């Protein structure tokens, strides 16, 4: 679809949404009187096949997440743009986090508008609250409708702009939770049924193949995984994997976000089922088993379990990961094997603003010395499915995470031979994120200066990882495999040099002798070339060589 036709399609969908409201109009619940309102974000744009049905019942309970802006963000970006020691929470609070007064002003507005269970996060970045659809519509001067999505879900969305009081405009970044049409998906791929003559790898093989097995295990490093749903099956499979392979049992923890279901707004740290059902055990099995195998073992592995991949639940999980509750470890490396078309999250393209919200949280993590790693996607260069050449997956397109693309690995169980681009590996310029200083000079062509992938590791399911899923061995791949391989590698590197902190600037300082430059293959629109490229970034790297280079 051309850009012109795509814009026309969006406008027609917005008109359809508005028509569905009809005479129902806006709710008339009382809001604080006086003051002016300003538009924050546009109506939710819908995908082809999404069908607007009715106005959302006014009694429907909705949890909202109001995300505040960082202070002195330009200064924080400068700090994060070069290698740095971890900044203390006290310094972040003094110079960059929203002020207590700003967070309290948002909380007061929500209470006055009729919301209940109003809570300010410990880092003051989020204010969560619960209210009826009537309350939501009145407080944010918007309309909510039900939508049957193209993938068969019953969802809802805001059909008109979201507005906030002008008095809050300087401090509020986004209002999340007003749509469930767009959400993240996992990036795991099963081995094709017609694969012949190709064998997968025990996850332990990757440590040998990428030259990490001779290094000390990452026994002093805390690692995190963000996902969703019950983690009980994953913990059982992880125990089976470690026992079968003679590894030490993992010190695993689970933090449930939205405990008991979407919109609950409750955090629980004692029940690994999250009072929920399995929403992707295979994905979290791939993540956890490959991280442990590649790292040789970690100090702790914390699963941050949101709900269903919904944008506001993921934002709440990222906030919890960046500023954990007392007693929870601060994860030094965090895996995210999920994503969605970045246009659905970018407030400038009809998204809900969760990309801008999460970017702010990722910057806090980078300042802390944390490294978030994200899979670039399994739909080749066109994650958005719209034929555009700037079609990236978020959160991988955030410049404040490490974006990991995928390769087809040629190796024995112990020795690297070569890698090509995996045809389905995500990798393209971002449509709105800019490359930071460590990457910008390497970008090229029409989208020079845009954000692209950083590194790439094995992702082809035909030669992928053989992991334990529900007690049995299965072979899987996808960039969901590539990202945890990087996470395990970086954890091992941190074991020898924990002061390295945020990985991205350091990766671009690696000598060519440490890099496996990917020079063959393509992912659709982008072809591998010598040096950095849009399909695989810098390529993969020899972990032992990287450790020596980064001392």
Residues 295 and 369 in one domain: yes
List of E strands, 416-497: 416-421, 455-458, 465-469, 472-477
Question: What number is the average pLDDT over the span 338-344?
Answer: 97
Residue where a domain stops, chosen among 176, 193, 216: 176
Same domain flag for 217 and 152: no
The residue whose two tokens read 């001392």 is: 551
Choose, from 132, 295, 313, 480, the residue flagged as catalytic.
480
The residue behind tokens 């590649």 is 294
State whether 393 and 505 are in the same domain.
Answer: yes
**pLDDT value of residue 199:** 80
**Across 277-299, average pLDDT:** 96
Do 234 and 133 share a structural domain?
Answer: no
390 is catalytic: no
Taking the C-alpha atoms of residue 508 and residue 169, their distance in angstroms, rounded to an integer, is 37
- DSSP label at residue 464: -
Say whether 338 sits in a helix, a strand or coil: strand
Are 115 and 64 within 8 A, CB to CB? Answer: yes
Asked if residue 184 is part of any domain, the answer here is no
Catalytic entry in 237, 263, 283, 424 = 283
SS (H, E, C) 151-194: CCCEEEEECCCEEEEHHHCCCEEEEECCCCCCECEECCEECCCC
Say how many domains are in the chain: 2
Residues 137 and 224 in one domain: no
pLDDT at 25: 43
Which residue range forms the structural domain that includes residue 14? 3-176
Q: How confident is the model at residue 5, as a pLDDT?
A: 41
Considering the domain boundaries, does residue 192 fall inside one?
Answer: no
CA quadruple 118, 121, 125, 126: dihedral, nearest 10: -30
Query: Which residues 6+ apart lie within 8 Å of 3 measured at CB?
Result: 388
pLDDT of residue 198: 61
pLDDT for residue 95 is more than 50: yes
85 vs 79: CA distance, rounded Å: 10
7 has a pLDDT exceeding 70: no
Question: pLDDT tens digits for 143-188?
Answer: 999 999 999 999 999 999 999 999 999 999 999 999 999 999 999 9
In a domain, 195, yes or no: no
Whether 283 is a known active-site residue: answer yes
CA distance 405 to 260: 33
Please tell me the predicted confidence (pLDDT) of residue 262.
86
pLDDT score of 14 more than 60: no
Give the active site residue among 287, 358, 424, 533.
287
Identify whether residues 145 and 236 lie together within a single domain.
no
- The per-residue pLDDT for 34 is 57
In the residue annotation, 480 being an active-site residue is answered as yes
In tens, the pLDDT along 235-252 reads 999 999 999 999 999 999
pLDDT digits (tens, 9 = 90+) for 35-47: 799 999 999 999 8
Helix ranges (H only) for 444-503 are 479-496
Q: What pLDDT score does 261 carry?
A: 87
Mean pLDDT of all residues in 197-219: 92
* pTM, rounded to two decimals: 0.94
* pLDDT of 9 above 50: no
Asked if the structure places residue 191 within a domain, the reply is no
d(CA 118, CA 136): 13
Beta bridge partners of 540: 516
| Pair (458, 317) in one structural domain | yes
Place of tokens 């954990």: 324
């Amino acid at each position: 679809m051309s850009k012109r036709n795509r814009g026309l399609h969006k406008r027609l969908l917005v008109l359809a949404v508005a028509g569905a409201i009809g005479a129902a109009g806006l709710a008339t619940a009382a809001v604080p009187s006086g003051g002016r309102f300003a538009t924050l974000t546009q109506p939710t744009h819908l995908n082809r096949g999404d069908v607007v049905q009715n106005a959302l019942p006014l009694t429907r309970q909705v949890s909202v997440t109001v995300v505040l802006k960082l202070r002195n963000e330009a200064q924080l970006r400068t700090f994060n743009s070069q290698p740095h020691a971890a900044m203390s929470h006290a310094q972040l609070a003094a110079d960059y986090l929203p002020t207590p007064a700003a967070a309290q002003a948002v909380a007061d507005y929500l209470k006055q508008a009729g919301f209940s269970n109003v809570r300010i996060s410990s880092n003051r970045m989020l204010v969560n609250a619960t209210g009826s659809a009537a309350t939501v519509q009145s407080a944010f001067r918007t309309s909510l409708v039900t939508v049957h999505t193209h993938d068969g879900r019953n969802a809802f969305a805001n059909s008109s702009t979201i507005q906030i009081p002008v008095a809050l405009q300087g401090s509020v970044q986004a209002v999340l939770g007003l749509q469930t049409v767009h959400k993240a998906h996992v990036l795991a791929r099963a081995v094709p049924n017609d694969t012949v003559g190709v064998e997968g790898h025990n996850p332990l093989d990757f440590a040998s193949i990428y030259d990490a097995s001779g290094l000390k295990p990452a026994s002093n490093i805390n690692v995190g995984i963000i996902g969703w749903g019950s983690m009980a099956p994953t913990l059982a499979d992880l125990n089976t994997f470690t026992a079968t392979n003679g590894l030490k049992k993992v010190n695993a923890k689970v933090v449930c976000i939205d405990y008991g279901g979407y919109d609950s707004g409750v955090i629980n740290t004692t029940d690994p089922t999250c009072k929920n059902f399995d929403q992707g055990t295979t994905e979290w099995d791939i993540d956890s088993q490959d991280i442990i195998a590649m790292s040789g073992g970690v100090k702790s592995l914390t699963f941050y379990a949101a709900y269903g991949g919904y944008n506001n639940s993921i934002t709440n999980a990222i906030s919890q990961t960046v500023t954990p509750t007392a007693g929870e470890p601060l994860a030094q490396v965090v895996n995210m094997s999920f994503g969605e078309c970045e246009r659905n999250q970018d407030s400038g393209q009809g998204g809900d603003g969760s990309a801008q919200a999460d970017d702010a949280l990722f910057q806090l993590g980078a300042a802390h010395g944390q490294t978030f790693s994200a899979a670039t996607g399994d739909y080749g260069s066109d994650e958005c499915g719209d034929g555009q050449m700037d079609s990236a997956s978020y959160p991988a397109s955030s410049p404040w995470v490490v974006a990991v693309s995928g390769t087809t690995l040629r190796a024995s169980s112990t020795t690297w031979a070569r890698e090509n681009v995996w045809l389905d590996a995500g990798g393209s310029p971002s449509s709105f994120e800019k490359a930071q200083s460590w990457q910008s000079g390497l970008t090229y062509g029409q989208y020079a200066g845009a954000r692209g992938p950083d590194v790439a590791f094995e992702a082809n399911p035909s030669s992928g990882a053989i992991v334990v899923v529900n007690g049995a061995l299965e072979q899987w791949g996808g960039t969901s495999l590539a990202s945890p391989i990087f996470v395990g590698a970086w954890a091992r590197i941190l074991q020898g040099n924990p002061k390295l902190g945020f990985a991205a600037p350091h990766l671009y300082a690696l000598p060519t002798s440490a890099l496996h430059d990917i020079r063959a293959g393509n992912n659709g629109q982008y072809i591998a070339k010598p040096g950095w490229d849009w399909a695989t970034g810098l390529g993969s790297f020899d972990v032992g060589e990287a450790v020596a280079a980064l001392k």
